[in-house]
Amino acid sequence: MTSTDNKKPRIVIIGCGFGGLEAARALSNADVDITLVDKTNHHLFQPLLYQVATAGLSAPAIAAPVRHLFRKQSNVTTLLGEVDSIDTEGRKVMLAEGHALPYDHLIVAAGATHSYFGRDDWAPHAPGLKTLQDAFEIRRRILVAFEAAEKEADPALRAAWLTFVVIGGGPTGVEMAGTLAEIARHTLPGEFRRIDPASARILLLEGGSRVLQAMPEDLSQRAKEQLEKLGVEVHLDSRVVAIDAATVEVQQGAGGAAKPLTLNSRCVIWAAGVAASPLGRQLAQTTNATTDRVGRIAVDADLTLPGHPEISVIGDLAAARSFAPGREPQAVPGVSPAAKQMGRTAAANILRRLAGKSSEAFRYRDYGNLATIGRNAAVVDLAALAGHFKFSGYFAWLFWLFAHIYFLIGFRNRLVVLIDWASAYWSKQRYARVVSDISARAPL
Amino acid sequence: MTSTDNKKPRIVIIGCGFGGLEAARALSNADVDITLVDKTNHHLFQPLLYQVATAGLSAPAIAAPVRHLFRKQSNVTTLLGEVDSIDTEGRKVMLAEGHALPYDHLIVAAGATHSYFGRDDWAPHAPGLKTLQDAFEIRRRILVAFEAAEKEADPALRAAWLTFVVIGGGPTGVEMAGTLAEIARHTLPGEFRRIDPASARILLLEGGSRVLQAMPEDLSQRAKEQLEKLGVEVHLDSRVVAIDAATVEVQQGAGGAAKPLTLNSRCVIWAAGVAASPLGRQLAQTTNATTDRVGRIAVDADLTLPGHPEISVIGDLAAARSFAPGREPQAVPGVSPAAKQMGRTAAANILRRLAGKSSEAFRYRDYGNLATIGRNAAVVDLAALAGHFKFSGYFAWLFWLFAHIYFLIGFRNRLVVLIDWASAYWSKQRYARVVSDISARAPL
């Protein structure tokens, strides 16, 4: 599968999240021409995006310019551009402005976006958190809600401005709710003259029977207790059935026992649903590949598209399985370590094919799972260690902190984040309480 | 001029720039009720805004939440809101959403915005730099221009993307042009595969006969030389007569000798004109006050509105004069030290009136003037020192650096800015090369 007329093999990588970045890095010594295309100019360290949304970190602290990351890897050309379509017959990636990027091998790592389960009319009232732009919008809504409460004379409206509803009890929802509680109880008190920010209600709504469902059950319970200690009202078995500019309608309880609940809130955050990038569905259609419920493409064992060994699909866009000797294939979770590992496997398989060897099946190594909840609170599940080591609370929080700083891209950012956090921890302040544009980008 | 029914005197301050902030601080020990209203939630350290626009600093590094700054000054209530009008008869400030803020004393410090001298159609093609939002837009245009050049195959279009035109040779224009040259020559080389960023043209157009006209003539000359050494083409006596999405038309030379010049550029920055906030013109109309050419209100010697001793107008909104013993009154320049001094005088005069004394005339103390140009380059004019001490180059740059860090609000920000700069200086990198939203907010 080498290219024609003796040129170097051309590898195009779509997306510079954890998967795409790792794939390009794994090819650093290869005699190939890599084109890395992304619709933003930065790699985003998504696990800390909630910190930007909650004014704890500035955007540059968790975002590194892609072309700067690859400045010394001379086989990489970085392009800023939005992919319009993939011409799998002509082996070309078409960009929105009309540029064509021919490839011999393609890695599609276009990621995921949030999904409202068919209720896109909820989007303006309950923004999700995937991009920096999303984070700024959520930051704006949180800070403006407290400001509006300070100005509001009507007690019912004031209470609505001080009611924050987070929908979805996964890692993002837990982090958002915990941090909102911290802001209301620790950061803002003393700064307002007419309201008491500590009186804010923070509700976390989860449709299932426990938060953090990817974690062992006892850690879910521990997480719920820590959230409640921070002042979050955790509602399990609570399914949202309607959202508008002023209210969230919830059905509570399992099955026939469902009770309706109406929450008056002016700040609702969506952390419930994820869907693969639309590029996935388009690619699946043109190649007759199958997609799952959330739009991820079912890939072969070696992460390639069925019938297209020259196209690898990785990260949140792939419905991949892990093949470990002596075990049934297992579904791979949509987490950043899995995306990175898929990136390395896709790169290695391209090199194997270029060397005339056959590709290898993907094997996901699960080193564990961790989630933060707030100040001094987190849960850690180290599956890889003997005895399945689990812990929670202060030491889990420290572990989470250092793990995240360690994995942040680039020394510069790590130092800044560490200083920001140390300062935030001691002062209980949040560094980035800045809204650049007060006006709503979407109707409130 | 105390308030009725024995309540504390109510002081409303509009605007939280240097003037409004200083006025509120100067009243910290007064037995008054202060309401500070601003349309953003932060005080912006405007002298460093160009660093946000050129990706050297993140927004939170130069912006501090207003209510956090006043958390310990219990006589201040901070409100986020846009002023719609001032009811000078009823002594009420009307906010856009309908709230009314009654006052006994009012300080209007609403500042300035950029002006296109009646050519508002130029605004989408040549953004100015006053707010954080402006800075993000300029940052986006600069970074996207290099990205577009990397993608562009047509040499003429590529050259247009790599041509940066800065209009106006005042401090902002000089800083922007110098920093753009730094980015092109020092930051980006090595990161692109198809273009040489160092080949970018950076032009600074000034209508008058020298840059930095507020400076002594020899420092203007020194600044021009330092800009040229950094690689900026400085065009004096160059008046812009047309701007559209792709070109800037310039008339060069004085009077009859004018020659036309057409520049093909996709990134034009406006640093030429300033106009007082529209609130000033409205206030002048309802009170029959006079405004000058740029909309500033002519105030009395004590900074109050003629016929309205209860209303002070300060900062960039005031056409104020300085009264020094034995000298003719002098016009006060639109610089941040003047705004701060006006804030202190307005506050002191309110306290004098409350104590039954007469107000005092404003006296501006000019401690000097400094402007940075780029890496290791600045000019400093210390008028207050014996012998009118002037210097330029590396030591002027160091002086500028420490002066700005010293005056930054809050220890936290100072430390962050110092670290960011130290790191930027040694690495020649820029920390905040992040564009959150690639799509244009205005037609390009």
Give the residue from B36, B67, B97, B419 with the most A CB atoms within 10 Å of its CB, the best one to mutate: B67
Pair of tokens at residue B247: 């070109």
Q: Name which residue leads in pLDDT, A442 or B130.
A: B130
Q: Does B431 sit within 8 Å of A133, measured CB to CB? A: no
Give the β-pairing of A369-374 and A377-382: antiparallel
User: What's the confidence (pLDDT) of residue A151?
Assistant: 93
pLDDT tens digits, A409-432: 766 667 777 777 777 777 777 778
Task: Report d(CA A167, CA A177) in Å as an integer.
Answer: 9
A122-271 — its CATH code? Answer: 3.50.50.100
pLDDT at A44: 93
- Do B68 and A191 count as a contact with CB atoms less than 8 A apart? yes
Judged by DSSP in three states, A119 sits in coil
Please give the span between the terminal C-alpha atoms of chain B, in angstroms, as a whole number.
53
CB contact under 8 A, B61 and A65: no
Interface mutation vs chain B, best among A16, A80, A99, most B CBs within 10 Å: A80
DSSP E strands, A81-236: 83-87, 92-95, 100-102, 105-108, 112-114, 163-167, 201-205, 232-235
For A13, A307, B416, the CA distances from A352, given in Å and listed in that order, are 17, 18, 47
- Count of pairs with CB atoms under 8 A, one residue in A, one in B: 145
Per-residue pLDDT tens for A94-135? 998 888 999 999 999 999 988 998 899 999 999 999 999 999
pLDDT of residue B423: 73
Tell me which DSSP letter residue A7 carries. P
The owner of tokens 């050049």 is: B149
Is A122-271 in the same CATH topology as A10-39+81-114+275-354? yes
Confidence of residue A443 (pLDDT cuts 50, 70, 90): very low
CB contact under 8 A, A40 and B435: yes
pLDDT value of position B3: 41
Report the DSSP pairing between strands B321-322 and B318-319: unpaired
Rounded Cα gap, residues B167 and B203, in angstroms: 8
Contacts of B60 in chain A (CB under 8 A): 58, 431-434
Predicted pLDDT at A441: 43
Q: Which residue of A has its CA nearest to B131?
A: A436
Burial A64-93 (b: 16+ CB within 10 A, else e): bbbbbbbbeeebbbbbbbebbebebeebbb
Query: CB within 8 A of A350, min separation 6: which ones?
Result: A9, A11, A27, A32, A105, A107, A312
Give the pLDDT of residue A270: 97
All residues of chain B having their beta carbon less than 8 Å from the beta carbon of residue A80 are 144, 147-148, 150-151, 438
pLDDT along chain B (444 residues), means of 10: 65 97 97 97 92 91 92 96 96 92 98 91 95 94 96 95 97 96 94 96 97 93 96 96 96 78 97 92 94 94 97 97 94 94 98 97 92 88 75 88 80 72 75 73 37
- Listed in sequence order, the DSSP H helices in B7-63 are 18-26, 49-53
8 Å CB contact of B419 and A419 = yes
B133 vs A59, A65, A436: nearest CB: A436
pLDDT of residue A191: 95
Mutation target for A interface from B93, B147, B186, B436: give the one with most A CBs within 10 A: B436
Digit-coded pLDDT (tens) for A331-343: 999 999 999 999 9
- Per domain, the residue ranges of chain A are 10-39+81-114+275-354, 122-271
pLDDT of A256 higher than 70: no
Active-site residue flag, B233: no
Q: Which region, left, alpha or beta, applies to residue B393 given φ > 0 means left and ψ of -120 to 50 means alpha?
A: left
pLDDT at A158 exceeding the cut of 60: yes
Choose, from A22, A137, A152, A175, the residue flagged as catalytic: A175
Q: Which residue of B has its CA nearest to A71?
A: B191
Q: At B375, is the secondary structure helix, strand, or coil? A: coil
Contact B436 A136 (CB under 8 A): yes
Name the active-site residue from B22, B152, B175, B206: B175
Say whether A58 and B63 touch across the interface (CB within 8 A).
no
Residue of B16, B434, B439, B441 for testing the chain A interface, max A β-carbons within 10 Å: B434
| Contact (CB, 8 A) for A336 and A46 | yes
Half-sphere exposure for A338 (CA within 13 Å, toward CB) = 22
- Residues of chain A found within 8 Å of residue B79, distances taken between Cβ atoms: 147, 150-151
A68 vs B contacts (CB less than 8 Å): 191, 429, 433
- What percent of chain A clears pLDDT 90, i.e. is strictly above it? 74
As given in the structure block, the two tokens for residue A82 are 């939005």
Q: Which fold has domain A10-39+81-114+275-354?
A: FAD/NAD(P)-binding domain (3.50.50)
Pick from A402, A394, A403: which is nearest to A368 by CA? A403
Q: Do B59 and A58 touch (CB under 8 A)?
A: yes
Query: B81 contacts in A (CB within 8 Å)?
Result: 151
pLDDT tens profile A16-56 = 999 999 999 999 999 999 999 999 999 999 999 999 999 98
| C-alpha dist (Å) from residue B196 to B186, B187, B232 | 11, 12, 16
B-chain residues near A192 (CB < 8 A): 67
State in words which class domain B120-272 has. Answer: alpha beta
Give per-residue pLDDT as tens, A58-90.
898 899 899 999 999 999 999 999 999 999 999
- Residue A1 scores a pLDDT above 50: no
Distance from the Cα of A46 to chain B's closest Cα (Å) equals 14
What are the phi and psi torsion angles at B10 (to 5°)?
Answer: -100, 120
Q: What is the mean pLDDT of residues A143-165?
A: 96
Distance CA A160, CA B123 (A): 39
Does position A228 have pLDDT exceeding 50, yes or no? yes
Tell me the sheet residues that pair with B330. B322
- Contact between A423 and B412 using a beta-carbon 8 Å cutoff: yes
